[in-house]
Amino acid sequence: MGEKFRKVCVLAGMHIIALLSIGCALPCFSFFLIQFKEQFQVGSGLIGTANSLCIGFTNIIAPVATIMNRRYGYRLTILAGATSCSVGLILSSYVTEVWQIFFTHSLLTGGGVCITFQTMVFFVGMNLKKSNNIGNGVLFSALGLGMLVIPLLCSLFDYWFGWKAAIRIIGAISLHSVVISVLIFRRSFNPYMEQFDALPQKDDDEDKEKYDDEENDDARTPMSMATVADDDTNGEASPCDENGKPENNDDKKEKEVSKQPSKKFRCLLPMFRSSLLVFKDYPNLLVLSVSLCFICVGSSGFIVHMIASVKYRGVTDFESAVIFGVFGVGNLLGRLTNAIPLYFKLISETNLFILSLFVVSICMSLFGLCQTFPAMLFVASMTGLFCGMYVPQIPSIARLIVPKEKFDHAYGICIVPSGVTAIFGGYIAGAIYDSSGTYTLSFFFAAGNYIIVVAMLIVSKLVTRWKSKSTGSRRLRVPTNDEEDAPVTAV
Protein backbone atom coordinates (compact mmCIF):
# COMPACT_ATOMS: atom_id res chain seq x y z
CA MET A 1 0.00 0.00 0.00
CA GLY A 2 2.82 2.38 0.83
CA GLU A 3 4.51 1.72 -2.51
CA LYS A 4 1.32 2.53 -4.45
CA PHE A 5 0.82 5.69 -2.41
CA ARG A 6 4.36 6.88 -3.19
CA LYS A 7 3.80 6.14 -6.86
CA VAL A 8 0.57 8.17 -6.88
CA CYS A 9 2.32 11.06 -5.10
CA VAL A 10 5.16 11.08 -7.63
CA LEU A 11 2.81 11.01 -10.62
CA ALA A 12 0.63 13.77 -9.14
CA GLY A 13 3.68 15.89 -8.39
CA MET A 14 5.13 15.43 -11.88
CA HIS A 15 1.76 16.37 -13.38
CA ILE A 16 1.75 19.65 -11.43
CA ILE A 17 5.37 20.38 -12.36
CA ALA A 18 4.62 19.77 -16.04
CA LEU A 19 1.52 21.97 -15.80
CA LEU A 20 3.54 24.82 -14.30
CA SER A 21 6.35 24.49 -16.86
CA ILE A 22 5.33 23.36 -20.34
CA GLY A 23 1.64 23.91 -19.55
CA CYS A 24 2.30 27.60 -18.84
CA ALA A 25 5.05 28.45 -21.33
CA LEU A 26 3.61 27.38 -24.69
CA PRO A 27 -0.05 28.53 -24.35
CA CYS A 28 0.97 31.86 -22.81
CA PHE A 29 3.17 32.94 -25.72
CA SER A 30 0.68 31.66 -28.30
CA PHE A 31 -2.08 33.75 -26.72
CA PHE A 32 -0.01 36.95 -26.92
CA LEU A 33 1.46 36.25 -30.37
CA ILE A 34 -0.34 39.18 -31.98
CA GLN A 35 0.77 41.58 -29.21
CA PHE A 36 4.42 40.64 -29.75
CA LYS A 37 3.95 40.97 -33.49
CA GLU A 38 2.49 44.48 -33.17
CA GLN A 39 5.13 45.60 -30.67
CA PHE A 40 8.08 44.58 -32.85
CA GLN A 41 6.33 45.38 -36.18
CA VAL A 42 7.38 42.07 -37.74
CA GLY A 43 5.63 39.38 -39.75
CA SER A 44 3.82 36.34 -38.40
CA GLY A 45 6.57 34.08 -39.70
CA LEU A 46 9.36 35.70 -37.67
CA ILE A 47 7.50 35.98 -34.37
CA GLY A 48 6.08 32.50 -34.85
CA THR A 49 9.62 31.21 -35.19
CA ALA A 50 10.36 32.30 -31.62
CA ASN A 51 7.64 30.01 -30.25
CA SER A 52 8.60 27.26 -32.69
CA LEU A 53 12.15 27.47 -31.38
CA CYS A 54 10.80 27.07 -27.86
CA ILE A 55 8.93 23.94 -28.96
CA GLY A 56 12.00 22.76 -30.87
CA PHE A 57 14.35 23.19 -27.92
CA THR A 58 11.96 21.00 -25.94
CA ASN A 59 13.34 18.14 -28.06
CA ILE A 60 16.68 19.38 -29.36
CA ILE A 61 18.52 19.45 -26.04
CA ALA A 62 17.00 16.22 -24.74
CA PRO A 63 20.49 14.57 -24.70
CA VAL A 64 21.58 17.35 -22.34
CA ALA A 65 18.74 16.36 -20.04
CA THR A 66 19.93 12.76 -20.27
CA ILE A 67 23.49 13.67 -19.26
CA MET A 68 22.32 15.92 -16.42
CA ASN A 69 19.91 13.26 -15.21
CA ARG A 70 22.57 10.56 -15.20
CA ARG A 71 25.14 12.72 -13.47
CA TYR A 72 23.09 14.78 -11.02
CA GLY A 73 19.87 12.76 -10.60
CA TYR A 74 16.21 13.65 -10.99
CA ARG A 75 15.92 16.30 -8.30
CA LEU A 76 18.71 18.70 -9.30
CA THR A 77 17.97 18.30 -13.00
CA ILE A 78 14.28 19.16 -12.64
CA LEU A 79 15.14 21.98 -10.25
CA ALA A 80 17.45 23.60 -12.81
CA GLY A 81 14.99 23.16 -15.66
CA ALA A 82 12.01 24.56 -13.73
CA THR A 83 14.00 27.62 -12.71
CA SER A 84 15.14 28.31 -16.27
CA CYS A 85 11.58 27.95 -17.59
CA SER A 86 9.97 30.38 -15.16
CA VAL A 87 12.78 32.95 -15.34
CA GLY A 88 12.73 32.93 -19.15
CA LEU A 89 8.97 33.44 -19.14
CA ILE A 90 9.21 36.44 -16.81
CA LEU A 91 12.09 38.02 -18.77
CA SER A 92 10.07 37.72 -22.00
CA SER A 93 7.79 40.49 -20.74
CA TYR A 94 10.73 42.93 -20.51
CA VAL A 95 12.15 42.50 -24.04
CA THR A 96 12.53 45.60 -26.19
CA GLU A 97 14.06 44.06 -29.34
CA VAL A 98 12.86 41.10 -31.36
CA TRP A 99 16.17 39.22 -30.99
CA GLN A 100 15.80 39.25 -27.21
CA ILE A 101 12.66 37.14 -27.37
CA PHE A 102 14.72 34.41 -29.04
CA PHE A 103 17.00 34.35 -26.00
CA THR A 104 14.43 34.66 -23.22
CA HIS A 105 11.57 32.57 -24.60
CA SER A 106 13.20 30.27 -27.14
CA LEU A 107 16.41 29.42 -25.28
CA LEU A 108 15.74 29.91 -21.56
CA THR A 109 12.09 28.86 -21.50
CA GLY A 110 12.44 26.16 -24.15
CA GLY A 111 15.59 24.73 -22.60
CA GLY A 112 14.04 24.71 -19.15
CA VAL A 113 10.91 22.99 -20.43
CA CYS A 114 13.04 20.32 -22.12
CA ILE A 115 15.20 19.58 -19.09
CA THR A 116 12.18 19.47 -16.78
CA PHE A 117 9.71 17.57 -18.92
CA GLN A 118 12.05 15.06 -20.57
CA THR A 119 13.55 14.11 -17.20
CA MET A 120 10.07 13.21 -15.98
CA VAL A 121 9.47 11.24 -19.19
CA PHE A 122 12.70 9.33 -18.47
CA PHE A 123 11.49 8.66 -14.94
CA VAL A 124 8.20 7.16 -16.15
CA GLY A 125 9.82 5.11 -18.91
CA MET A 126 12.56 3.68 -16.67
CA ASN A 127 10.52 3.02 -13.53
CA LEU A 128 6.95 2.23 -14.61
CA LYS A 129 6.49 -0.70 -16.99
CA LYS A 130 3.07 -2.17 -16.28
CA SER A 131 1.57 1.28 -15.77
CA ASN A 132 3.73 3.03 -18.37
CA ASN A 133 0.77 4.15 -20.50
CA ILE A 134 -1.08 5.46 -17.47
CA GLY A 135 2.01 7.31 -16.26
CA ASN A 136 2.58 8.92 -19.65
CA GLY A 137 -1.09 9.84 -19.86
CA VAL A 138 -1.01 11.58 -16.48
CA LEU A 139 2.25 13.37 -17.29
CA PHE A 140 1.36 14.47 -20.83
CA SER A 141 -2.13 15.58 -19.79
CA ALA A 142 -0.51 18.56 -18.06
CA LEU A 143 -0.10 20.33 -21.40
CA GLY A 144 -3.76 19.74 -22.20
CA LEU A 145 -4.80 21.17 -18.85
CA GLY A 146 -2.49 24.13 -19.44
CA MET A 147 -4.16 24.79 -22.78
CA LEU A 148 -7.48 24.89 -20.95
CA VAL A 149 -6.55 27.08 -17.98
CA ILE A 150 -3.70 29.35 -19.10
CA PRO A 151 -5.46 31.11 -22.02
CA LEU A 152 -8.40 31.95 -19.77
CA LEU A 153 -6.06 33.33 -17.11
CA CYS A 154 -4.15 35.28 -19.76
CA SER A 155 -7.40 36.82 -20.99
CA LEU A 156 -8.38 37.90 -17.47
CA PHE A 157 -4.94 39.18 -16.49
CA ASP A 158 -4.67 41.05 -19.80
CA TYR A 159 -7.99 42.75 -19.13
CA TRP A 160 -7.08 43.70 -15.55
CA PHE A 161 -3.33 44.46 -15.71
CA GLY A 162 -2.20 44.51 -19.35
CA TRP A 163 -0.58 41.82 -21.46
CA LYS A 164 3.00 42.28 -20.20
CA ALA A 165 1.93 42.10 -16.57
CA ALA A 166 -0.10 39.02 -17.45
CA ILE A 167 3.05 37.27 -18.71
CA ARG A 168 4.88 38.17 -15.48
CA ILE A 169 2.06 36.77 -13.37
CA ILE A 170 2.06 33.53 -15.36
CA GLY A 171 5.84 33.35 -14.96
CA ALA A 172 5.49 33.82 -11.20
CA ILE A 173 2.93 31.02 -11.09
CA SER A 174 5.33 28.83 -13.06
CA LEU A 175 8.03 29.49 -10.47
CA HIS A 176 6.10 27.34 -7.98
CA SER A 177 7.27 24.27 -9.92
CA VAL A 178 10.68 24.77 -8.30
CA VAL A 179 9.22 24.28 -4.83
CA ILE A 180 7.16 21.28 -5.85
CA SER A 181 10.16 19.60 -7.49
CA VAL A 182 12.09 19.88 -4.22
CA LEU A 183 9.19 18.38 -2.26
CA ILE A 184 8.50 15.48 -4.62
CA PHE A 185 12.04 14.38 -5.54
CA ARG A 186 13.64 14.26 -2.12
CA ARG A 187 16.49 12.04 -3.25
CA SER A 188 18.81 13.07 -6.04
CA PHE A 189 19.28 9.43 -6.95
CA ASN A 190 19.02 7.58 -10.22
CA PRO A 191 19.91 3.85 -10.37
CA TYR A 192 21.48 4.44 -13.78
CA MET A 193 23.60 7.43 -12.76
CA GLU A 194 27.12 7.35 -14.17
CA GLN A 195 29.93 7.00 -11.63
CA PHE A 196 32.32 9.82 -12.56
CA ASP A 197 35.83 9.40 -11.20
CA ALA A 198 36.11 13.10 -10.37
CA LEU A 199 33.23 12.86 -7.92
CA PRO A 200 33.56 11.22 -4.51
CA GLN A 201 31.56 8.04 -4.13
CA LYS A 202 29.04 7.79 -1.31
CA ASP A 203 28.26 4.66 0.63
CA ASP A 204 25.16 5.96 2.41
CA ASP A 205 22.31 3.54 2.83
CA GLU A 206 20.01 6.06 1.19
CA ASP A 207 22.05 6.03 -2.02
CA LYS A 208 22.09 2.24 -2.06
CA GLU A 209 18.33 2.04 -2.63
CA LYS A 210 17.47 0.73 -6.04
CA TYR A 211 14.46 1.24 -8.24
CA ASP A 212 14.96 -2.33 -9.43
CA ASP A 213 16.43 -5.47 -7.90
CA GLU A 214 19.97 -4.87 -9.09
CA GLU A 215 21.86 -6.84 -6.45
CA ASN A 216 22.39 -9.72 -8.90
CA ASP A 217 22.62 -7.57 -12.01
CA ASP A 218 25.38 -5.43 -13.36
CA ALA A 219 24.23 -1.84 -12.89
CA ARG A 220 26.75 -0.57 -15.42
CA THR A 221 25.51 0.31 -18.86
CA PRO A 222 27.37 0.46 -22.18
CA MET A 223 27.67 4.20 -21.63
CA SER A 224 29.97 3.70 -18.65
CA MET A 225 32.48 1.32 -20.23
CA ALA A 226 35.16 3.99 -20.09
CA THR A 227 35.16 3.83 -16.33
CA VAL A 228 35.48 0.04 -16.49
CA ALA A 229 38.58 0.40 -18.64
CA ASP A 230 40.12 2.72 -16.07
CA ASP A 231 39.40 0.26 -13.25
CA ASP A 232 41.09 -2.60 -15.12
CA THR A 233 44.50 -1.00 -14.63
CA ASN A 234 44.34 -1.51 -10.85
CA GLY A 235 46.66 -4.13 -9.43
CA GLU A 236 49.31 -3.91 -12.16
CA ALA A 237 53.02 -3.49 -11.47
CA SER A 238 54.29 0.00 -10.77
CA PRO A 239 55.27 1.76 -14.00
CA CYS A 240 58.85 2.89 -14.62
CA ASP A 241 60.15 6.12 -15.99
CA GLU A 242 62.16 6.48 -19.20
CA ASN A 243 65.40 5.50 -17.37
CA GLY A 244 63.92 2.23 -16.14
CA LYS A 245 63.60 3.35 -12.51
CA PRO A 246 60.40 2.94 -10.51
CA GLU A 247 58.36 6.11 -10.24
CA ASN A 248 57.86 7.84 -6.92
CA ASN A 249 54.40 8.11 -5.39
CA ASP A 250 54.52 11.89 -5.79
CA ASP A 251 55.12 11.53 -9.52
CA LYS A 252 52.26 9.08 -9.80
CA LYS A 253 49.91 11.45 -7.98
CA GLU A 254 50.87 14.34 -10.26
CA LYS A 255 50.17 12.23 -13.33
CA GLU A 256 46.86 11.02 -11.92
CA VAL A 257 45.81 14.61 -11.27
CA SER A 258 46.79 15.63 -14.79
CA LYS A 259 44.69 12.78 -16.20
CA GLN A 260 41.50 13.71 -14.32
CA PRO A 261 40.09 16.10 -16.98
CA SER A 262 40.55 13.53 -19.73
CA LYS A 263 38.66 10.96 -17.66
CA LYS A 264 35.65 13.24 -17.50
CA PHE A 265 35.56 13.57 -21.27
CA ARG A 266 36.13 9.85 -21.74
CA CYS A 267 33.03 9.27 -19.62
CA LEU A 268 30.91 11.59 -21.77
CA LEU A 269 32.04 10.50 -25.22
CA PRO A 270 30.74 6.91 -24.92
CA MET A 271 27.32 8.38 -24.04
CA PHE A 272 27.04 10.20 -27.36
CA ARG A 273 28.55 7.27 -29.28
CA SER A 274 26.13 4.76 -27.76
CA SER A 275 23.20 7.12 -28.28
CA LEU A 276 23.94 7.44 -32.00
CA LEU A 277 24.55 3.71 -32.47
CA VAL A 278 21.13 2.93 -31.01
CA PHE A 279 19.58 3.67 -34.43
CA LYS A 280 21.73 0.91 -35.93
CA ASP A 281 20.74 -1.58 -33.26
CA TYR A 282 17.03 -0.65 -33.40
CA PRO A 283 15.97 0.42 -36.93
CA ASN A 284 12.36 0.95 -35.86
CA LEU A 285 13.58 3.75 -33.65
CA LEU A 286 14.85 5.54 -36.76
CA VAL A 287 11.41 5.24 -38.37
CA LEU A 288 9.87 6.72 -35.25
CA SER A 289 12.40 9.57 -35.23
CA VAL A 290 11.72 10.48 -38.87
CA SER A 291 7.97 10.37 -38.23
CA LEU A 292 8.34 12.76 -35.32
CA CYS A 293 10.15 15.22 -37.59
CA PHE A 294 7.08 15.65 -39.78
CA ILE A 295 4.70 15.57 -36.81
CA CYS A 296 6.52 18.41 -35.07
CA VAL A 297 6.47 20.56 -38.20
CA GLY A 298 2.70 20.23 -38.43
CA SER A 299 1.92 20.49 -34.72
CA SER A 300 4.13 23.51 -34.08
CA GLY A 301 2.68 25.37 -37.04
CA PHE A 302 -0.87 24.67 -35.89
CA ILE A 303 -0.44 25.40 -32.16
CA VAL A 304 1.65 28.54 -32.64
CA HIS A 305 -0.88 30.20 -34.97
CA MET A 306 -4.14 28.68 -33.75
CA ILE A 307 -5.24 31.60 -31.55
CA ALA A 308 -4.02 34.23 -34.00
CA SER A 309 -5.98 32.59 -36.82
CA VAL A 310 -9.31 32.73 -34.99
CA LYS A 311 -8.71 36.34 -33.93
CA TYR A 312 -8.14 37.34 -37.55
CA ARG A 313 -11.47 35.67 -38.38
CA GLY A 314 -13.34 38.11 -36.12
CA VAL A 315 -13.36 36.19 -32.84
CA THR A 316 -12.89 38.18 -29.61
CA ASP A 317 -10.01 37.61 -27.20
CA PHE A 318 -12.22 35.80 -24.71
CA GLU A 319 -13.80 33.60 -27.39
CA SER A 320 -10.34 32.75 -28.72
CA ALA A 321 -9.33 31.76 -25.20
CA VAL A 322 -12.44 29.55 -25.01
CA ILE A 323 -11.55 27.89 -28.33
CA PHE A 324 -8.02 27.20 -27.17
CA GLY A 325 -9.46 26.04 -23.84
CA VAL A 326 -11.77 23.58 -25.60
CA PHE A 327 -8.75 22.34 -27.55
CA GLY A 328 -7.07 21.88 -24.18
CA VAL A 329 -10.07 20.00 -22.75
CA GLY A 330 -10.04 17.59 -25.67
CA ASN A 331 -6.28 17.27 -25.37
CA LEU A 332 -6.59 16.56 -21.65
CA LEU A 333 -9.27 13.90 -22.17
CA GLY A 334 -7.25 12.28 -24.93
CA ARG A 335 -4.13 12.06 -22.81
CA LEU A 336 -6.03 10.71 -19.81
CA THR A 337 -8.13 8.15 -21.69
CA ASN A 338 -5.63 6.90 -24.27
CA ALA A 339 -4.61 4.07 -21.97
CA ILE A 340 -8.17 2.65 -21.75
CA PRO A 341 -8.26 0.88 -25.15
CA LEU A 342 -4.69 -0.23 -24.58
CA TYR A 343 -5.49 -1.61 -21.13
CA PHE A 344 -8.34 -3.73 -22.52
CA LYS A 345 -6.15 -4.68 -25.51
CA LEU A 346 -8.64 -3.31 -28.02
CA ILE A 347 -5.85 -1.82 -30.12
CA SER A 348 -2.06 -1.73 -30.09
CA GLU A 349 0.07 1.34 -29.39
CA THR A 350 1.18 1.58 -33.00
CA ASN A 351 -2.31 1.26 -34.49
CA LEU A 352 -3.71 3.82 -32.04
CA PHE A 353 -0.85 6.12 -32.97
CA ILE A 354 -1.58 5.83 -36.71
CA LEU A 355 -5.35 6.21 -36.30
CA SER A 356 -4.98 9.32 -34.14
CA LEU A 357 -2.60 10.95 -36.61
CA PHE A 358 -5.02 10.37 -39.47
CA VAL A 359 -7.95 11.94 -37.60
CA VAL A 360 -5.78 14.91 -36.56
CA SER A 361 -4.86 15.58 -40.19
CA ILE A 362 -8.54 15.76 -41.14
CA CYS A 363 -9.42 18.01 -38.19
CA MET A 364 -6.59 20.45 -38.91
CA SER A 365 -7.74 20.79 -42.51
CA LEU A 366 -11.32 21.46 -41.39
CA PHE A 367 -10.24 24.00 -38.77
CA GLY A 368 -8.78 26.23 -41.45
CA LEU A 369 -12.17 26.24 -43.23
CA CYS A 370 -14.36 27.00 -40.20
CA GLN A 371 -15.90 30.46 -40.11
CA THR A 372 -18.38 30.26 -37.21
CA PHE A 373 -17.65 30.09 -33.50
CA PRO A 374 -19.54 26.79 -32.83
CA ALA A 375 -17.79 25.08 -35.74
CA MET A 376 -14.40 26.22 -34.44
CA LEU A 377 -15.28 24.88 -30.98
CA PHE A 378 -16.24 21.44 -32.28
CA VAL A 379 -13.28 21.00 -34.61
CA ALA A 380 -10.86 22.33 -31.99
CA SER A 381 -12.16 19.82 -29.43
CA MET A 382 -11.76 16.90 -31.86
CA THR A 383 -8.29 18.06 -32.84
CA GLY A 384 -7.25 18.31 -29.20
CA LEU A 385 -8.80 14.93 -28.35
CA PHE A 386 -6.84 12.97 -30.94
CA CYS A 387 -3.68 15.02 -30.41
CA GLY A 388 -3.92 13.94 -26.79
CA MET A 389 -4.38 10.34 -27.91
CA TYR A 390 -1.20 10.08 -29.96
CA VAL A 391 1.29 12.14 -27.92
CA PRO A 392 1.59 9.72 -24.93
CA GLN A 393 2.15 6.83 -27.34
CA ILE A 394 5.49 8.26 -28.47
CA PRO A 395 7.53 7.30 -25.36
CA SER A 396 5.50 4.10 -24.99
CA ILE A 397 6.40 2.97 -28.50
CA ALA A 398 10.04 3.91 -27.92
CA ARG A 399 9.98 1.92 -24.69
CA LEU A 400 8.72 -1.14 -26.59
CA ILE A 401 11.57 -0.83 -29.10
CA VAL A 402 14.52 -0.56 -26.68
CA PRO A 403 15.28 -2.15 -23.29
CA LYS A 404 14.81 -0.15 -20.13
CA GLU A 405 18.47 0.60 -19.39
CA LYS A 406 18.82 2.28 -22.81
CA PHE A 407 15.48 4.09 -22.81
CA ASP A 408 16.64 7.54 -21.71
CA HIS A 409 19.51 7.60 -24.23
CA ALA A 410 17.37 6.17 -27.03
CA TYR A 411 14.38 8.42 -26.43
CA GLY A 412 16.57 11.47 -25.92
CA ILE A 413 18.40 11.05 -29.22
CA CYS A 414 15.21 9.99 -31.02
CA ILE A 415 13.40 13.30 -30.47
CA VAL A 416 16.36 15.58 -31.27
CA PRO A 417 15.75 15.72 -35.07
CA SER A 418 12.07 16.50 -34.46
CA GLY A 419 13.10 19.45 -32.34
CA VAL A 420 15.07 20.85 -35.26
CA THR A 421 12.17 20.47 -37.69
CA ALA A 422 9.72 21.97 -35.19
CA ILE A 423 11.60 25.26 -35.51
CA PHE A 424 10.41 25.60 -39.09
CA GLY A 425 6.75 24.78 -38.42
CA GLY A 426 5.77 28.13 -36.94
CA TYR A 427 7.82 30.06 -39.47
CA ILE A 428 6.42 28.26 -42.52
CA ALA A 429 2.81 28.56 -41.31
CA GLY A 430 3.32 32.26 -40.61
CA ALA A 431 5.08 32.83 -43.93
CA ILE A 432 2.20 31.18 -45.78
CA TYR A 433 -0.21 33.55 -44.03
CA ASP A 434 1.95 36.59 -44.81
CA SER A 435 1.98 35.69 -48.52
CA SER A 436 -1.63 34.49 -48.92
CA GLY A 437 -3.46 36.55 -46.28
CA THR A 438 -5.29 33.50 -44.91
CA TYR A 439 -4.47 30.69 -42.49
CA THR A 440 -6.37 28.07 -44.52
CA LEU A 441 -3.33 27.11 -46.55
CA SER A 442 -1.18 27.18 -43.41
CA PHE A 443 -3.36 24.55 -41.74
CA PHE A 444 -3.48 22.49 -44.95
CA PHE A 445 0.31 22.47 -44.80
CA ALA A 446 0.21 21.32 -41.16
CA ALA A 447 -2.26 18.53 -41.98
CA GLY A 448 -0.13 17.40 -44.93
CA ASN A 449 2.75 16.55 -42.62
CA TYR A 450 0.50 14.20 -40.66
CA ILE A 451 -0.66 12.49 -43.86
CA ILE A 452 2.98 11.87 -44.79
CA VAL A 453 3.62 10.22 -41.41
CA VAL A 454 0.52 8.01 -41.71
CA ALA A 455 1.69 6.82 -45.13
CA MET A 456 5.23 6.18 -43.81
CA LEU A 457 4.03 4.13 -40.85
CA ILE A 458 1.63 2.05 -42.94
CA VAL A 459 4.35 1.28 -45.47
CA SER A 460 6.75 0.42 -42.62
CA LYS A 461 4.23 -2.04 -41.13
CA LEU A 462 3.64 -3.68 -44.51
CA VAL A 463 7.36 -4.04 -45.14
CA THR A 464 7.89 -5.54 -41.67
CA ARG A 465 5.12 -8.08 -42.24
CA TRP A 466 6.49 -8.98 -45.67
CA LYS A 467 9.96 -9.52 -44.23
CA SER A 468 8.62 -11.64 -41.39
CA LYS A 469 6.70 -13.84 -43.81
CA SER A 470 9.67 -14.21 -46.14
CA THR A 471 11.98 -15.29 -43.35
CA GLY A 472 9.31 -17.44 -41.73
CA SER A 473 10.10 -16.24 -38.25
CA ARG A 474 9.58 -13.22 -36.07
CA ARG A 475 12.13 -11.69 -33.78
CA LEU A 476 10.64 -11.41 -30.31
CA ARG A 477 12.20 -9.50 -27.48
CA VAL A 478 12.96 -11.78 -24.53
CA PRO A 479 11.07 -10.67 -21.40
CA THR A 480 13.34 -9.38 -18.67
CA ASN A 481 13.00 -8.62 -15.01
CA ASP A 482 12.08 -5.00 -15.80
CA GLU A 483 8.59 -6.02 -17.03
CA GLU A 484 7.33 -5.23 -13.55
CA ASP A 485 7.02 -1.76 -12.15
CA ALA A 486 10.14 -0.69 -10.31
CA PRO A 487 9.80 0.53 -6.74
CA VAL A 488 9.41 4.30 -6.73
CA THR A 489 11.60 5.83 -4.03
CA ALA A 490 11.59 9.43 -5.19
CA VAL A 491 9.33 10.58 -2.39
More confident residue, 184 or 295: 295
Mean pLDDT over 219-224 rounds to 36
β-sheet bridge partners, residue 240? 246
- Contact at 8 Å (CB) between 33 and 48? yes
Identity of the amino acid at 152? L
- The whole-angstrom separation of Cα 361 and Cα 327 is 15
Average pLDDT over the chain reads 75
The confidence band for 235, taking pLDDT boundaries of 50, 70 and 90, is very low
pLDDT at position 206, please? Answer: 43
What is the mean pLDDT of the segment spanning 472-483?
A: 48
Query: For the residues 339-346, what does the mean pLDDT come to?
Result: 82
How many of the other CB atoms lie within 10 Å of CB of 193?
A: 18
State residue 212's pLDDT score. 40
Q: Is the pLDDT of residue 231 over 50?
A: no
Q: Contact 289/397 with Cβ under 8 angstroms?
A: no
Q: 237 exposed, middle or buried (CB, 10 Å; 0-12, 13-18, 19+)?
A: exposed
Pick the residue with more confidence: 220 or 132? Answer: 132
The pLDDT of 151-175, averaged and rounded, is: 87
User: How do residues 392-439 score in pLDDT, each as one tens digit?
Assistant: 888 888 888 888 777 777 777 788 888 888 888 888 888 898 888 888
Please tell me the predicted confidence (pLDDT) of residue 132: 67
Q: What pLDDT was estimated at residue 449?
A: 94
Task: Find how far residue 340's CA is from the centre of its chain.
Answer: 23
For the chain, what is the radius of gyration of the CA atoms?
A: 24
Half-sphere exposure of 458 (CA within 13 A, CB side): 10
Whether this prediction's pTM lies above 0.85 is answered by no
List, in sequence order, every residue forming a beta bridge with 246; answer none if it has no partner.
Answer: 240
In contact, 303 and 262? CB cutoff 8 Å: no
In this prediction, residue 197 has a pLDDT band, given cuts at 50, 70 and 90, of very low
Other C-beta atoms closer than 10 Å to the C-beta of 39 total: 16
Confidence of residue 362 (pLDDT cuts 50, 70, 90): very high
Nearest 5 degrees, angle CA 134-CA 136-CA 137? Answer: 60
104: pLDDT strictly greater than 70: yes
- Residue 221 pLDDT class (50, 70, 90 cuts): very low
Quote the pLDDT of residue 97. 85
Q: Which residue has the higher pLDDT, 457 or 280?
A: 457
Buried b (16+ CB within 10 A) or exposed e, 336-362: bebbebbeeeeeebbebbbbbbbbbbb
Is residue 395 within 8 A of residue 124, CB to CB? The reply is yes
pLDDT at 1 over 90: no
pLDDT above 90 as % of the chain: 11
Task: Please tell me which residue, 232 or 412, carries the higher pLDDT value.
Answer: 412
For residue 61, what pLDDT is reported? 77
Q: Is the pLDDT of residue 201 over 60?
A: no
Per-residue confidence at 275, pLDDT binned at 50, 70, 90? Answer: low
Comparison of pLDDT for 386 and 7, the residue scoring more = 386
Phi and psi of 93, rounded to 5°?
Answer: -80, -10
At residue 259, the pLDDT reads 45
Of residues 74 and 270, more confidence is placed in: 74
Give per-residue pLDDT as tens, 300-335.
889 888 888 888 888 887 888 888 888 888 887 887
pLDDT above 70 (res 18):
yes
State yes or no: pLDDT of 461 exceeds 90: no
The full 3-state SS of the chain, as one line of letters, equals CHHHHHHHHHHHHHHHHHHHCHHHHHHHHHHCHHHHHHHHCCCHHHHHHHHHHHHHHHHHCHHHHHHHHHHHHHHHHHHHHHHHHHHHHHHHHHCCCHHHHHHHHHHHHHHHHHHHHHHHHHHHHHHCCCCHHHHHHHHHHHHHHHHHHHHHHHHHHHHHHCHHHHHHHHHHHHCHHHHHHHHHCCCCCCCCCCCCCCCCCCCCCCCCCCCCCCCCCCCCCHHHHHHHHHHCCCCCCCCECCCCCECCHHHHHHHHHHHHHHHHHHHHHHHHHHHHHHHHHCHHHHHHHHHHHHHHHHHHHHHHHHHHHHHHCCCCHHHHHHHHHHHHHHHHHHHHHCHHHHHCCCCCHHHHHHHHHHHHHHHHHHHCCCCCHHHHHHHHHHHHHHHHHHCCHHHHHHHHHCCHHHHHHHHHHHCHHHHHHHHHHHHHHHHHHHHHCCCHHHHHHHHHHHHHHHHHHHHHHHHHHHHHHHHCCCCCCCCCHHHCCCCCCCC
Q: Please report the pLDDT score of residue 60 as a whole number.
A: 77
Q: Are 54 and 110 in contact (CB under 8 A)?
A: yes
pLDDT at residue 66 is higher than 50: yes
Q: Measured in whole angstroms, how far is the alpha carbon of residue 90 from the centre of its chain?
A: 22
